[in-house]
Amino acid sequence: MKTYLAQRLVVALLTLLGMSAVIFALLRLAPGDIVDILFSTAGYVSPAEKQAIMKELGIDHPYWVHYLDWLRQIAVVDLGMSYRYDLLAWQLIKPLVPVTLELAALSILFAVLIGVPSGVVSAVRQDTALDYALRVFSLAGLSMPAFWLGMVIILGLVTWFAWIPPLSYVSPTENFKLHAVQFLLPALAVGYRSSALIMRITRSSLLEVMREDYIRTAWAKGQTGRVVIWRHALKNAMLPVVTIIGIEFAFLIGGLVVTETVFNLPGVARFLVQAILWRDYPVVQNLVMFIAIVVILSNLLVDMLYGVLDPRVRYGG
Amino acid sequence: MSRARIAPFPALLIAFVVGAGLISPAASQTASAPTPKSGGVLNMMLREDLSQGFAIHETSTISTVWPAMPCFNNLVLFDPLKKTESVETIIGELAEKWSWQDNFRNLVFFLRKNVKWHDGQPFTSKDVKFTFDMLREAPDAPAKLRINPRKDWYANIEAIEAADPHTAVFRLKKPQPSLLLMLASGYTPIYAAHVPPATYRTACVGTGPFKVKEWRKGEFIEMVRNPDYFVKGRPYLDGLKYFVIVERGTRQAAIQAGKLDASFPGETTKTAAEQLKKAVPQLVITPFSQNVSDNIIMNVKKPPFDNPKVRLAVSHAIDRRALIQAVHQGGAVVGAASAPKPLGFWGLSEKDLMGLPGYAARPADEKALAKKLMGEVGFSPEKPLRVEIVTRAIAVYVDMASFVINELKQIGIDASLKQIETAQWHAMATRGDYQIGANLTGIGPDDPDANLYENYACGSPRNYSQYCSEEVMKMIDAQSQELDPKKRLTLNYAIQRKLEADAARPILDWKLDYFTVWPHVKNLIPHQSIYNFGRMQEVWSDK
């Protein structure tokens, strides 16, 4: 197990190194830089002044110098200064992380709570009216973009109740009820889509497992439906479901842009888009690296869970 | 002191907006509301976070000016309670009074005493000298701005003297009565001499009615009443909160739900205003000029637009009235280089525009003329001129550019659209790396000096078409120095006609905003420029 973890750690570090190069290069491929944006807000450009500002911000060096500087900063856990805000990038990123993690976790929780039971019911009641209804429900979830659903929720609330969620972040210690409402609505909008995916995977995986010999044996032994389905079948059908949950969680960390924007939640994804528009490289690079780390960690966690769910899975050869 | 007459807001426009159901009776009562009450916090919206903090002098965007204005004061300001700005509506802020001397060559400001900066330091004439020496980049200026977009506004200032702690004298190279109007703009706050200008990018040390309490990046800016404000009993409000809401639909929902008390200047289109009014009939909606025009920039240094005939053909081809209906759903008006009456003060009225390229009553006649001009230079719909029309990759630009492309196609110009990212737009336009473009131009104060020197003067970095006419420059200088307001107005009419006749930068329309507030918001009165009414000193809440 230890060897396996060490191997995974090395692979993760190499992946992150590769990611850093890709992020760095892709960012520089986009036209313009922070100084162009600053001049854009002023409505003119002066090449001489531009040069001076580039020097002031330290972006007048060759790209490779910037890249090495960034790697060095990461190594000493210094994320550099935001070009736009003239503040430590870490100061800007720190408050965003819990918002996005909470929203992603709540969304996944909703998705699992809705997706797994409905997938099981759909599989057990295959080809019944209930199965069809659940499949339509899940197809609708897959077809409906979360941002659209989010906007519908906002418009519904404002039209029928003349109310919308708070416009700025409310911490749980400040007002727990308002905090919960602020997160529940976007989590439902996002979770619905994820639940549809989980439901479909649960259903197909369970249907496959239900045709296995050991399930037939369990039925033959006279075990109750509850025991057969929940203890024997579902546990073995969960491997692909857990994989999807992991992928969805990782995707949500960076993929909540529109939901955070529609619900005006100050999270990582919304801030990331603004930082990209401003070519605020220190913020963008480090936020994308943060997302990459979450993706790698959630993959690792999923791999660990395989062993828990299926004792036949062994680590480290 | 020079005096210009204030154009009355015509009954016709009021009748139009009332008829359209967009203005409620409360709107016209706002200025004469009952006794103001103190207290309350006003919640407002921002489309994006502050771009350069509170450093108004380093930016031109309303996204900075609007939320930063309450922190500062100017020497003088356009009266926040009067909707049409002119030299007659200018009131003192940090200057108690002022006096033109030596035939408009010296402008003396007598400053208020006992004014304190938010950090407790006293305000003196040194701060005035510091600010304007920095802005005009005087050789001995003690500080330099990183970006200085309005340096040209102060090119005529020869020296600034701090005669005593409460007197500041502006010595001008030549008479320039309109300098006072530029000083009255929201773009012209006084900075503290003891605070490095870079500090304003992250914090705000002003003398204004509100102090910054918290700026949570990307989320909100919270301001609280300045208890030491030099105007006793002001501000009325206890605080202001500006929420950054990037999504337009959410902004509209927030105002509809009453989470926000007022819209953002330049934010509300006619269609959005109609939707809001339908949903919440008590909302007070006031149409006003944004002082922003849609226009065509043609690079006069590059073929084929170095040929005046081609430029004129483009101007003739575009049906302005159809554009206003199609792109703005009627939420704009036609006009030349200055915002037209009655929305602005200096612009040509629609009647005056009739003889100019592109403004004829029958668009077909204009198109025929445009085809004839194109024919004379060898192009026709069958043998079209192929060009790339550039525009900024923002919906308001692209919508207008798409309409223009269709118009040009009809006269033998086959234009393809090239969208330029915001990061590249101004650099490209300033360098002149384009042939023809669809552009938007916002103007700070509704005054010809601010507009003409910036957009039409030879060598100005914002003169994107690089149009340069000695004759026009003489006319611009002449109007700037003209002391008689009537003569100055006449000169400006002549300049506008000349610019349109030369197709220097054909103006397509002037956009309207439908500023929206809840009825309890009093004294927040939109002016004819979005950049000048954000001080919030007189605003109160009748909640």
List alpha helices for A30-128, DSSP H. 34-42, 47-57, 63-75, 89-93, 96-124
Domain match, A174 and A53 both: no
- Contact (CB, 8 A) for B191 and B198: no
Q: Is residue A314 part of a domain?
A: no
Number of structural domains found in chain A: 2
Q: Pick from A265, A285, A301: which residue ends a domain?
A: A265
Domain match, A166 and A255 both: yes
- DSSP type of residue A313: -
Q: Which of B56, B146, B150 should one mutate to test binding to chain A, selecting the residue with the greatest count of A CBs within 10 A?
A: B146
What is the rounded distance in angstroms from the CA atom of residue A4 to the CA atom of residue A1? 5
Q: Is the pLDDT assigned to residue A163 strictly greater than 60? A: yes
Listed as ranges, residues in chain B with pLDDT below 50 are 1-31
Residue-wise pLDDT for B305-346, tens only, equals 999 999 999 999 999 999 999 999 999 999 999 999 888 889
All residues of chain B having their beta carbon less than 8 Å from the beta carbon of residue A38 are 51-52, 58, 146-147
User: Which carries the bigger pLDDT value, residue A46 or residue B510?
Assistant: B510
Min CA distance, B355 vs chain A (Å)? 32
pLDDT of residue B152: 86
* A316 — pLDDT class (breaks 50, 70, 90): low
Distances (CA, A) of A286 to A100, A248, A290, B480: 15, 21, 6, 51
Residue ranges of domains in chain B = 17-25+38-210+518-541, 290-512
Min CA distance, B344 vs chain A (Å)? 22
Amino acid at site B412: G
Domain match, A199 and A50 both: no
Q: Pick from A68, A93, A118: which residue ends a domain?
A: A93
pLDDT of residue B19: 39
Q: Is residue A278 part of a domain?
A: no
Q: Is A261 on the interface with B (CB under 8 A)?
A: yes
Q: Is A32 on the interface with B (CB under 8 A)?
A: yes
Min CA distance, A56 vs chain B (Å)? 9
pLDDT of residue A31: 85
pLDDT of residue B15: 36
As a whole-number percent, the residues of chain A with pLDDT over 70 amount to 99
Beta strands B220-225; B210-216: pairing state: antiparallel
Q: Is A168 on the interface with B (CB under 8 A)?
A: yes
Q: Is A39 on the interface with B (CB under 8 A)?
A: yes
Residue B147 to residue A40, Cβ atoms within 8 A: no
Q: Is A37 on the interface with B (CB under 8 A)?
A: yes
Domain match, A108 and A254 both: yes
All residues of chain A having their beta carbon less than 8 Å from the beta carbon of residue B444 are none
pLDDT of residue B28: 40
What is the rounded distance in angstroms from the CA atom of residue B399 to the CA atom of residue A3? 60
What is the rounded distance in angstroms from the CA atom of residue A312 to the CA atom of residue B281? 67
pLDDT of residue A16: 92
Min CA distance, B269 vs chain A (Å)? 19
Residue B259 to residue A164, Cβ atoms within 8 A: yes
- Contact (CB, 8 A) for B491 and B480: no
Let me know how many helices (H) and strands (E) chain B has, helices first. 17, 18
Distances (CA, A) of B141 to A50, B106, B131, B153, B169: 20, 20, 9, 17, 16
pLDDT of residue A61: 92
- Contact (CB, 8 A) for B345 and B4: yes
Residue-wise pLDDT for A226-260, tens only, equals 999 988 999 889 999 999 999 999 888 888 888 99
Q: Is A53 on the interface with B (CB under 8 A)?
A: yes
- Contact (CB, 8 A) for A285 and A34: no
Q: Is residue A277 part of a domain?
A: no
Domain match, A210 and A235 both: yes
Minimum-distance CB partner of B462 among A43, A86, A263: A43
Residue A41 to residue B60, Cβ atoms within 8 A: yes
Distances (CA, A) of B213 to B226, B242, B394: 10, 12, 33
Closest Cα in chain B to A93: B217
Report the CATH number that the domain containing residue A200 is assigned in CATH: 1.10.3720.10
Q: Is residue A303 part of a domain?
A: no
Q: Is the pLDDT assigned to residue A42 strictly greater than 50? A: yes
pLDDT of residue A314: 67
ipTM here: 0.90
Min CA distance, A50 vs chain B (Å)? 9
Interface of A with B in 124-153 (CB under 8 A): 151
Average pLDDT value for chain A: 91
Beta strands B507-517; B284-298: pairing state: antiparallel
pLDDT of residue B29: 40
Residue-wise pLDDT for A172-182, tens only, equals 999 999 999 99
Q: Is residue A2 part of a domain?
A: no
pTM of the model: 0.89
Domain match, A151 and A239 both: yes
Domain match, A20 and A62 both: yes
- Contact (CB, 8 A) for B339 and B510: yes
Distances (CA, A) of B138 to B129, B155, B165: 10, 10, 20
All residues of chain B having their beta carbon less than 8 Å from the beta carbon of residue A43 are 60, 149, 426, 442, 462
All residues of chain A having their beta carbon less than 8 Å from the beta carbon of residue B198 are 86
Domain match, A73 and A119 both: no
Q: Pick from A265, A290, A305: which residue ends a domain?
A: A265
Mean pLDDT to the nearest integer, A162-169:
94
Residue B250 to residue A262, Cβ atoms within 8 A: yes
Min CA distance, A164 vs chain B (Å)? 7
Min CA distance, B362 vs chain A (Å)? 36
pLDDT of residue B435: 97
What is the rounded distance in angstroms from the CA atom of residue B122 to the CA atom of residue B114? 7
What is the rounded distance in angstroms from the CA atom of residue A130 to the CA atom of residue A122? 7
| Surface-to-core class of residue A136, CB atoms within 10 Å of its CB (0-12 exposed, 13-18 middle, 19+ buried) | exposed
Does the B17-25+38-210+518-541 domain belong in CATH 3.20.20.70? no
Residue B59 to residue A41, Cβ atoms within 8 A: yes
What is the rounded distance in angstroms from the CA atom of residue B111 to the CA atom of residue A172? 49
Minimum-distance CB partner of A266 among B218, B421, B424: B218
- Contact (CB, 8 A) for B161 and B108: no
Name the residue range of residue A78's domain. 15-93
- DSSP type of residue A177: H
| Surface-to-core class of residue A307, CB atoms within 10 Å of its CB (0-12 exposed, 13-18 middle, 19+ buried) | middle
Total length of chain A:
317
Domain match, A150 and A233 both: yes
What is the rounded distance in angstroms from the CA atom of residue B60 to the CA atom of residue A209? 65
Q: For B290-512, which CATH superfamily applies? A: Dipeptide-binding Protein; Domain 3 (3.10.105.10)
Residue A167 to residue B245, Cβ atoms within 8 A: yes
Q: Which of A264, A272, A279, A287 should one mutate to test binding to chain B, selecting the residue with the greatest count of B CBs within 10 A?
A: A264
pLDDT of residue A315: 64
